[in-house]
A and B are shown apart, each in its own frame.
Chain A
Amino acid sequence: MMQLSHAWLVDENPETRFQAGAGQTYRMVRALLRNPLAVVGLVIIIGLLVVAAFAPVLAPYSPIESNLGARLLAPSADHWMGTDELGRDIFSRIIHGARITLMIVLLVAVISAPVGLLVGTVAGYFGGWVDRVLMGLTDVFLSMPKLILALAFVAALGPGIENAVIAIAITTWPVYARIARAETLTFRNAEFISAIQMQGASHTRVIFKHIMPLCLSSTIVRVTLDMAGIILTAAGLGFLGLGAQPPLPEWGAMISSGRAFILDQWWVATMPGFAIVIVSLGFCLFGDGLRDVLDPRNRTR
């Protein structure tokens, strides 16, 4: 039977494909764990996942039900972050808001990364006019101001989380297309691709089975680095009233509702902001660490 030992994992001559893969993952994780900032980022992200998963257990109060007797209370032992204008516990709302934030980033990543990957690999693989048309389109989207574009799309589609996700995804895919195309170009003419083609593999098979997997790691790095920006944009849309609608405890919308009380009850608008900053920071730090491990060419100094 296989044994999961250090020696087995770092074996220079792996016997099976699984051993090679496991060894590579092991080395990557070790390199990542040696970077203290990346570990901080990882801890924050795991924290976000845990909080989102166990929100009903962790939150001391209901995030939705109002309690007008306890309006705008300052932070105290009962309400760690105070209460908002409807007497709802801000701490509980932030905990439940983690679910919304997580859902938004995941949905954006799941929509925009595959689209970008597909456009980029197809453009790079076929070249010629396909490349020119697809990349022309990509460049047009790349040179637009992202936030403004997202705003305009939400304005047309109507406010709401789903439309905010679509609008953000529309503005994020071009980056992944550029990256995937650049990666594809580096091995489009490689011998292993020709070998697969000569075995009679279709273009679809070559792209999906052999080119896309090789573009994955740089795309994942980029997606992780973009997460912070996606969170900020989503919060911005929520702040403007175009994202999640009340009474959903979305962090940006919470800041927006605290805006009216910013001069006297500062905690209503301030507290959700800290949550946004911490989570964005987590993705930034982890993304930086991931880039150093997966993509050493672009290492930051």
Chain B
Amino acid sequence: MKSLVLTNAAADDPWKRRRQQSLRWLYSLGGFAATIAMTFLGLLAITFVIGRVVPIDPVLAVVGDRAPQDVYDAVRAEMGLDNPLIVQFIQYVGSVISGDLGMAVTSQRPVAEELARVFPATLEMATLGILIGVLVGVPAGVLAAARQGSWIDQVIRVLGLAGYAIPAFWLGLVGLALFYANLRWVGGPGRIDIFMEGIVPSRTGLLLIDSMLSGDWAVFRSAWSHIILPATILGFFSLAYIARMTRSFMLEQLSQEYVITARVKGAPERVVIWRHAFRPIRIQLVTVIGLSFAQLLEGSVMIETVFSWPGIGNYLTNALLNADMNSVLGATLVIGAVFIGVNKVSDLLYRILDPRAR
């Protein structure tokens, strides 16, 4: 406010000022919405192009290769493939917006329906993963910055490197061999022990919550023992990133003059770190967490494949192996859309929360 009074010529008229401010807000929101729309359109264009690149002739797949030419042409026209590309693209965008992602070739069910069925499993694992990443990563990063050069700082450094250099699918396999096969600490692949499948009614699709709602603790324990390893491994990668970013944000704050002032005034170290230095970086962390949640969704493709986790990533890789293009493109579209959405929302949150970015 104070800076506005100093810089804005209309400062003497509060109504005018407020109107100007909200106009500026609307304007930037409009630009923001336009960027999002462009990005989604770009995503659709990419999946559309990929769908065209495929060397499989979709008409032949329907009519078979011994169909006469007139049948072929009729089917081709019916599928809208004789229209110009731009018309086909508009039709494609229209059908995606109305929720039609085509039929899955292998199961002969709508792709959208199948994706809705598998998505909760991914959401459950990714959420647990990001919780682990945030709850461990943020304090670790703060501590590493507070005690620069200490063992925890070194650990964060090594973890950060490991996050870049270790393949997620390999870590998953090693984890399975160690914690499941050797130590028997956790359950194996899959979401739950086979004999417990389908016991609790599906309300949210999230097994941990469904079993809690039904009060069936045996199912909960089984589900927990299956989810904890893949979620931890997923969380490890966001942990590495979140801790590293937290550390560098904190170092930046700790070198600021107001922190030195707080120290000189004799504030206890704990207060200096958590109240003075940590508070201002919370907004930056929102963006980092959003970013790593989006990356985590992407990483879940590999982890789900390794753990036979019946989520969208596993669905995607199965569809890839079956060359089921409708399912591949549908899953790509959904993961891409969620990825973009999460990124843009965290970007928006940053703009709303940070007074400097407003």
Contacts and interface: CB of A to CB of B under 8 A. Distances in A.
Asked if A and B are interacting partners, one says yes
Interface of A: 136-137, 139-141, 143-149, 151-158, 228-229, 232, 235-236, 239-242, 252, 255, 258-259, 262-264, 266, 269-270, 273, 276-277, 280-281, 284-285, 300-301
B173 interface: yes
Given A153-B50, A156-B51, A232-B167, A262 B181 contact: yes
B164 A284 contact: yes
Contacts of B167: 232, 235-236, 239, 252, 255, 273, 276-277
Given A156-B53, A228-B164, A262-B173, A149 B46 contact: yes
A144 B336 CA distance: 6
- Describe A's contact surface by its main secondary structure: helix
A157 B329 CA distance: 13
Nearest to A236: B302
Interface string B316-348: 110011010100110010011001100100000
Nearest to A159: B320
Given A152-B328, A228-B165, A252-B167, A259 B53 contact: no
B332 A140 contact: no
Given A139-B35, A155-B328, A277-B167, 7 more contacts: A140-B42, A145-B295, A156-B54, A228-B164, A252-B169, A255-B170, A262-B181
A240 B173 contact: no
A242 B320 contact: yes
A216 to B, nearest CB: 24
B211 to A, nearest CB: 27
Given A140-B43, A281-B161, A151 B320 contact: yes
B173 A145 contact: no
A280 B301 CA distance: 21
Interface of B: 35, 38-39, 42-43, 45-47, 50-51, 53-55, 161-162, 164-170, 173-174, 176-177, 180-181, 248, 251, 294-295, 297-299, 301-302, 305-306, 316-317, 320-321, 323, 325, 328-329, 332, 335-336, 339-340, 343
A281 B335 CA distance: 28
Contacts of A156: 50-51, 53-54, 325
Nearest to B321: A241
Contacts of A145: 294-295, 297-298, 335-336, 339
B131 to A, nearest CB: 21
Contacts of A139: 35, 39
A122 B126 CA distance: 40
Contact of A270 (B51, B174, B336): B174
Nearest to B52: A156
Contacts of B53: 153, 156-157
Across chains A and B, which 6 residue pairs bring their CB atoms closest together, nearest first?
A140-B42, A273-B170, A280-B165, A263-B181, A281-B165, A145-B298
A71 to B, nearest CB: 19
Nearest to A266: B177
7 contacts: A140-B38, A140-B42, A147-B298, A149-B336, A239-B169, A252-B167, A255-B169
Contact of A148 (B51, B306, B332, B343): B332
A255 B170 CA distance: 7
Contacts of A158: 55
B329 A152 contact: yes
B38 A136 contact: yes
A85 B46 CA distance: 40
A270 B332 contact: no
A233 to B, nearest CB: 9
B164 A301 contact: no
A276 B170 contact: yes
A288 B251 CA distance: 19
B305 A146 contact: no
Contacts of A137: 42
Contacts of A270: 170, 173-174, 177
A153 B329 CA distance: 10
Contact of A143 (B47, B317, B340): B340
A240 B168 CA distance: 13
B332 A149 contact: yes
B124 to A, nearest CB: 19
Given A143-B39, A157-B53, A235-B167, A148 B46 contact: no
Contact of A284 (B45, B165, B317): B165
A147 B169 CA distance: 13
Given A145-B297, A276-B170, A152 B176 contact: no
Nearest to B302: A236
A252 B306 CA distance: 13
Contacts of B297: 145
A229 B47 contact: no
With most chain B CB atoms within 10 A of its CB, the pick from A156, A158, A259 is: A156
B43 A144 contact: yes
Contacts of B180: 263
A235 B35 CA distance: 33
Given A155-B320, A156-B53, A240-B320, A269 B170 contact: yes
A45 to B, nearest CB: 13
A263 B323 CA distance: 29
B164 A269 contact: no
A264 to B, nearest CB: 8
A199 to B, nearest CB: 40
